[in-house]
Structure 1
Amino acid sequence: MKLSEKIQQLRKEKGLSQEELAEICKVSRQSISKWEADIALPETDRLLLLANTFQVSLDVLLKDELVVNGVKKTGTCGLNAINDAESGIYEGIIIKESLDRDEILDAVSMNKVEIWNAGGAPKYWTAIYFTSSRPDFPELLSGALSGGTDGGEAWFADFKSGNMKYIVFNGLVLRYEIGNLPDKERVCRECEKRGVTKEQMNWPE
C-alpha cells in the first residue's frame, strides 16, 4: 500500500475530513488532496504530525509493504525505541531524504527510525537504522541514492558487513576491510574527490 493510500485510509478511519487533517498538519486542503492522490509527498515534519495523529509509526507510513491493520510486522520510531535487529548481512543507517527511489526500503528490515535536525534545508532528516540480508544490497542502494544534496555535495551511505566497511555513492560502491589502514585511505581519497569532508569520514566501524 502506498503512502497516499495509507493517508487516505487512516484519515477516514479517524473520521477526519481533508480540511480537518489540513488544519492539524498546518497545510492547505489542496496539499492533503495532493498527498492522497500521490501527486506530492509530505515533508518530514508533516510526516511526524501524520504519525502522531494516526497513532502509527513512521515505519508504517514509509514502507510500502507494511499494512496499517497490524497484519505485518512494523517497527517503532523514536530516539529510545530500539527493537531487536533481525539477522542480516548488512547493518547501518540510511537517510531517507538521500534516496531517489524508496523501493530500496523493501530490501531492508527497519530496526529504528530517528528524526535528526539537519539545521538547513530540508530542516529534518529521517534516519533509518536497518539490516539487510540481500547479497546485492550495496549495488541496490547505489542505484537508489540521489546524485547529490541541494547544496551540491554528494550523498553517501556507510554501513558494514562483518569486518567489511562499505561507503556507497550513486553509481559507486567502495569497500575496505576494517583495520586495513592503506585500504581505508584509498577509500577516503575517493570520497574526498566527491566532496566528502574529513569530518564526514569519521564514520563508526
Structure 2
Amino acid sequence: MKLSEKIQQLRKENGLSQEELAEICKVSRQSISKWEADIALPETDRLLLLANTFQISLDVLLKDELVVNGVKKTGTCGLNAINDAESGIYEGIIIKESLDRDEILDAVSMNKVEIWNAGGAPKYWTAIYFTSSRPDFPELLSGALSGGTDGGEAWFADFKSGNMKYIVFNGLVLRYEIGNLPDKERVCRECEKRGVAKEQMNWPE
C-alpha cells in the first residue's frame, strides 16, 4: 500500500472529507487530492499533522504498518523521497553486539535483520536495519553503545537523516553535511583518534 492510498483510507476511516483534512493540515483541498493521487508527497510538518490526526506514529505512517481488515500490511511509503530533505527520520544500521543497553531498540523500527560473519571479535554480528523518528535518537544511541569491542576497538554506528551523516560513539555524537568534504575530514580525524581504521570510514552516504 502506497502512502497515497493510506492517506485516503485513513481519511475515510476517520470520516473526514478532503476539505476537512485540508483544513486540519493547513493546505488546500487540491493538495490533499494530489497526495491521494500519488502526484505529490506531504512535507514533513504535514506528515506529523497527518500522524497526529489519524492517531498513529510517524514510523507507522511512513512504513505502512497498518492493520486493514484484520491483516497487517507492511512496506514503504515514499521513505527515500522524504529522506532527501531534512526529514528528522534517521535511518541506518545498528550492530546489536555493539549495545550495552538494548532499550535503544524500543526507539527504532526494525526493517531487516542480518547475521554477518565479521571474522573478528565477536565473530558474528547482528545487523539491524532501522529507522527512527525520535528527535533525540543520536544522543540516545550514544548512551546505549558499548565503549569498545572485545578486540579493544571503539564501537560506532553510522546513519543519516536527510543530508546529514551521523557517526556515533559511546558518549560522542559526530555529524557532517553530506558533500561537505572539510567537515567530513574533521569527523574522520576524530574517528582515527578513537582507533577506527581508514577502511572503516568508507561508510555509505
Q: Taking structure 1 as the reference length, what is the TM-score of the superposition?
A: 0.59
Which protein shows a greater Rg? 2
* CA 1:111–1:28: 2 relative to 1, 3 Å: same
Q: 2:150 — aligned with what? A: 150
Structure 2 contact 96–127 (Cα < 8 Å) conserved: yes
**TM-score, with length taken from structure 2:** 0.59
Describe the superposition over 1:7-29 as per-residue Cα deviations: whole angstroms up to 9, x where unpaired.
99999999999999999999999
Judged with a 3 Å threshold, the aligned counterparts in structure 2 of structure 1 residues 2 and 148 are, in CA distance, closer, same or farther, namely farther
Tell me the matched-pair count: 205
CA contact (8 A) 1:159 1:165 kept: yes
Q: Assess, with a 3 A threshold, how the Cα gap between structure 1 residues 175 and 61 changes in structure 2: closer, same or farther.
A: closer
**1:119 deviation in Å?**
1.1
My pick for the range that moved more, 121-130 or 79-88, is 79-88
Question: For 1:117-165, what per-residue CA distance to the aligned partner results, in whole angstroms no more than 9, with x for missing partners?
Answer: 1213322100000000000000000000000001110000000000000
Aligned 8 A contact 1:88 1:131 in 2: no
Contact 1:25 1:49 in 2 (8 A): yes
- Which moved further from structure 2: 157-166 or 88-97? 88-97
Partner of 1:122: 122
Residue by residue over 1:71-109, the C-alpha shift from the partner in whole angstroms, topping out at 9 and shown as x without a partner, is 999999999999999996100000000000000000000
| Alpha-carbon RMSD | 15.8
Task: Evaluate the alpha carbon distance shift between residue 43 and residue 175 of structure 1 in structure 2; reply closer, same or farther with a 3 A threshold.
Answer: closer
Structure 1 stretches lacking a partner, 5+ long:
none
The answer for the alignment partner of 2:202 in structure 1 is 202
SS in 2 for 1:125: strand
Change (3 A) 1:145 1:83: same
